[in-house]
Each structure stands twice: as C-alpha cells, then as structure tokens.
Amino acid sequence: MGKSVPEITLNDGFTLPVIGLGTYTLKGDQGASAIQNAIDDIGYRLIDSAYNYENEGTVGEAVRRSSVPREELRITSKLPGRYQEYKKAVFTIQESLYRANLDYYDLYLIHWPNPKQDNYVEAWQALIEGKKQGLIRSIGVCNFLPEHIERLEKETGIKPSINQIELHPFFNQEEQRKWHEENNIKTQSWSPLARSNEVLQNNTIQKIAYDHNKSVSQVILRWHYQLSAIAIPKSSSSARQLENISIFDFTLDEREMGLISGLTRSEGRINNQDPAIYEEF
Ligand SMILES: NC(=O)C1=CN([C@@H]2O[C@H](COP(=O)(O)OP(=O)(O)OC[C@H]3O[C@@H](n4cnc5c(N)ncnc54)[C@H](OP(=O)(O)O)[C@@H]3O)[C@@H](O)[C@H]2O)C=CC1
Ligand SMILES: O=C(O)C(=O)[C@@H](O)[C@H](O)C(=O)CO
C-alpha cells in the first residue's frame, strides 16, 4: 500500500504529488525493481526520468510490473538539447514513448534551455503539439531562467506548468522561486539532497534533525515541502525511499527554515551548471 502523499494543482489544472522519485542512474532490472518497489510498497506516484538517462525503458517496465493503475501515476521524461529543433523534438517525444512503451507521459520537460543553441522555442512548440495530440498531459521545462520562460510565453502564449531546477540547502534559489510563485509556475527541485555528499554532515541540519528526532534527509525534504517545491530525491534503497517520503508528521518553524535557507552559497551549484551559459546535449 505505502504512504499517501498530498497533491498540488498546476496552472493547467493537472495534479502532482508534492514529492516524487528521481531515477538518474537507476537502470535495468535492478532499476525497474527499485522503482516498482517505490511505487507499490512505499507510495511514490511521481517518477522522474529523461531521454538522456537512457532509462525510460526501465521506468516503463516498472510501471507495467506495478499493481498501481497507470492513471494514478505521474511519469516524467525530458527532451535532450540535441533534439530541440521542431521536427526532431516531435520525433523524440514519440521515441521517448516507444522506449518506455507507454501511451503518454504525464509530464514532459525541456531538459536545458541551451540559450547559445537557441532552439528552445521550437522545442516548446513541439511539446505544445505533443500535448494537443494527447501524448503528454502537462508540459514544462527544466533549468530555465525567467528570461527564457518569458520568451516562451511571448512567442507561443503558453507558459510551463513547472520548472525543474537545481535546489538544495547550498543553493536555495530564492529569487527564481519567488519569480515562479509570482508567475504561477511550480518549482521542482532536482538534486534536492545535493546528491547527499557534504550536506548530510552539515552541523546546522544535524542539530535540527536531532531536535525533531528525524534524519537529516527528512529535514531537508521537509524544507523543500515548506518552500512549496516538489522534491524528487533519488534512492535505490527501499529504506531510504521510505525515509524520504516520511516527512508529513512534523513542521519546521520559521527559525529552522531560515537556518537551512541560510546555508546557501553563491558558488553552491553542485557542478557549476549555470543555465545562462551551460549547454547539455
Ligand atoms: N533536470 C535536471 O537537469 C536534473 C534532474 N535531476 C533529477 O533529480 C533527481 C534527484 O537528483 P540526484 O542528482 O539524483 O540527487 P539527490 O539529491 O536526489 O541525491 C541522490 C543521492 O542521495 C542518496 N540518498 C538518497 N536518499 C538518501 C537518504 N535518505 N540518506 C542518505 N543518502 C540518500 C542516493 O543514494 P542511494 O540511491 O544509495 O539511496 C544518491 O546517492 C535525479 O535522480 C533526476 O531524476 C538531477 C539532476 C539534473
Ligand atoms: O541529471 C540530469 O538531469 C542532468 O541534466 C545532468 O547534467 C546532471 O546535472 C549531471 O549529472 C551532471 O553531471
């Protein structure tokens, strides 16, 4: 059965759970088992993936192995930078579905804006078309700066439902989150645990975790939830999947929220991937 996770409604009326499962590096039979376990035994309903992770097939296999009806799940994939030209993007959406052996994605995102390449508006038009054809339920972006989103809206009249961005205690994205809120776009947090390296040893969060009798990861994921950001922590382990979703029985007060947000650093990005200049293909 698993845990039940609250849901939020996006600007297009579609609903998403407030926490999901990241799947970067989850592949093959092991990956499919880990994802199926997250769905059937733990209660995850939102599963992130990407064409570039080369695991859309693994995610599709987990969906078929699962006993949860397809319509209760929210499956995400992402369009890679090398296929942003309109025709290529149309074929890639179809290829993503063939790889997963699914009839539709719930959420399909442009993976990176790649502003030097400057094809992201064409890519957005292909996502709009994919939604019209029923291949995608809700369309969004990742790693887009406000100027990129403003251009999408100006040139197509349609804005993304979500923007999936790097967000964790070392990089709290205060301004970008505020801009999303003002523009009715939901924030999704990638690497919400900052890939769990240094952040798990942080004394400030350890103290807060001790005070609540929770783990450091739970405190961080609760911080995301209270920021109204949809975190998608990746875990291959059943115990950690359960730990990460068990965050709805305690509350961080304003001081604790401020202490965690205060850990942010100007150079806080994990791999220095600044979407204004970084391009991923
Ligand atoms: N749109 C984009 O550009 C990007 C999107 N993403 C998406 O975001 C997802 C999450 O980000 P990701 O980079 O994977 O990093 P996360 O911040 O989710 O950290 C994942 C790491 O933390 C470990 N971990 C998970 N839970 C715990 C826990 N409770 N205690 C200790 N360690 C834990 C995992 O190990 P273990 O598996 O052993 O538990 C893994 O090594 C990705 O998987 C991907 O789907 C990621 C990067 C960029
Ligand atoms: O994992 C993703 O979605 C990415 O876009 C990667 O670039 C990720 O940020 C990474 O692994 C970089 O090393």
- Residue labelled with tokens 């950001």: 229
Atom of ligand 2 nearest to the CA of 280: 7
The string of pLDDT tens digits covering residues 224-241 is 999 999 999 999 999 999
Q: How high is the mean pLDDT of the chain?
A: 98
24 touches ligand 2 (CB under 6 Å): yes
pLDDT at 63: 98
pLDDT at 197: 84
Atom 20 of ligand 1: nearest residue by CA position: 195
Pick out the chain residues at pLDDT < 70. 1
pLDDT at 1: 62
pTM of the full structure: 0.98
65 touches ligand 1 (CB under 6 Å): no
pLDDT at 75: 99
Query: Pick from 181, 112, 179: which is nearest to 150 by CA?
Result: 179
271 touches ligand 2 (CB under 6 Å): yes
Query: Pick from 75, 84, 154: which is nearest to 126 by CA?
Result: 84
What distance lies between CA 73 and its chain's CA centroid?
14
**In testing the pocket of ligand 1, which one of 141, 186, 224, 235 has its CB within 8 Å of the most ligand atoms?**
235
ipTM higher than 0.85?
A: yes
Domains within the chain, CATH numbers bracketed: 16-194+231-236 (3.20.20.100)
pLDDT at 196: 87
